[in-house]
Structure 1
């Protein structure tokens, strides 16, 4: 059984861009490696090879999920949330596991918060089962 991870189109493009960046720097790396070989250093450029291989696998086993305009929280959508212990709201984009970056306002659909709100509509209050304990969050808006 092959496992496909879910990812937004933006996350997929970021990986494609990173592979392109690695490929663009490859000629310079080859020259450095050739110079090192001429001096007797036969070590390989494993950093480049491993990064490219890892990113290539990410693309190969990724299912790109397009958003639907159905009013429900889903991958690729942005949600405005109100936490039960806070008067302010917070905005997050729901993304795949590899794209998650809390500092950039991106949470994984597989995180405890993501799981609690997935496929729910604005106005719904959900209980989040987090490692540090449970808490409630209300979905204010789904964009």
Structure 2
């Protein structure tokens, strides 16, 4: 069974951009490896070992990102007033007077520091497909709490 990774068009583009950046950097890393190899004895050549490791990490990251694109399911947003992938929500947590704004994204795009939460996180699951004005209970590892959807953009 093939498992497709849901993501926004922006998330897909970010992966494409990272792949392009890594591919552009690959020739430079290959030259560093070749220069280190020319230094001689490979068994005691720290520069060669580090260059080989760095190039291996780059190649591994390229393979990983390539698979992310291959199995990506790009989800387009619908203007139906419900919380969904790609939409921004304004939330009010029951224990706080302030509101917080989050963009609902795929698992690979999630970055809480950047205000992006995954649709399948405990918070994401609690609010998905719900409309503004709805209060939901979030089942989090640290315990449950309530959150009210103030606005869906």
**Normalised TM-score (structure 1):** 0.90
Question: Could you say if the C-alpha distance between residues 63 and 47 of structure 1 is closer, same or farther in structure 2, counting changes exceeding 3 Å?
Answer: farther
Deviation at 1:26, TM superposition (A): 1.4
For each residue in 1:64-84, what CA deviation from the matched residue of structure 2 results, as whole angstroms up to 9, or x when unmatched? 111000000000000000111
Question: Could you say if the C-alpha distance between residues 75 and 83 of structure 1 is closer, same or farther in structure 2, counting changes exceeding 3 Å?
Answer: same
- Aligned counterpart for 1:79 among listed residues 55, 78, 89: 89
Question: Could you say if the C-alpha distance between residues 116 and 142 of structure 1 is closer, same or farther in structure 2, counting changes exceeding 3 Å?
Answer: same
Deviation at 1:61, TM superposition (A): 1.0
SS in 2 for 1:82: strand
**2:15 matched to which residue of 1?**
15
Deviation at 1:6, TM superposition (A): 0.4
Range with greater deviation from structure 2 (27-36 or 16-25): 27-36
Deviation at 1:43, TM superposition (A): 9.5
CA contact (8 A) 2:37 2:48 kept: no
CA distance in 2, matches of 1:23, 1:74: 33
Segments of structure 2 that go 5 or more residues without pairing to the other structure are 53-62
CA distance in 2, matches of 1:48, 1:98: 33
Larger Rg: 2
Range with greater deviation from structure 2 (27-36 or 10-19): 27-36
Deviation at 1:47, TM superposition (A): 14
SS in 2 for 1:103: helix
CA contact (8 A) 2:36 2:48 kept: no
Deviation at 1:37, TM superposition (A): 2.5
**Normalised TM-score (structure 2):** 0.84
CA contact (8 A) 1:22 1:48 kept: no
CA contact (8 A) 2:39 2:45 kept: no
Deviation at 1:134, TM superposition (A): 0.6
**1:36 matched to which residue of 2?**
36
Answer yes or no: is 1:98 the counterpart of 2:121. Answer: no
Normalized per residue, the structure richer in helix is 2
For each residue in 1:12-35, what CA deviation from the matched residue of structure 2 results, as whole angstroms up to 9, or x when unmatched? 111111110011111211211211
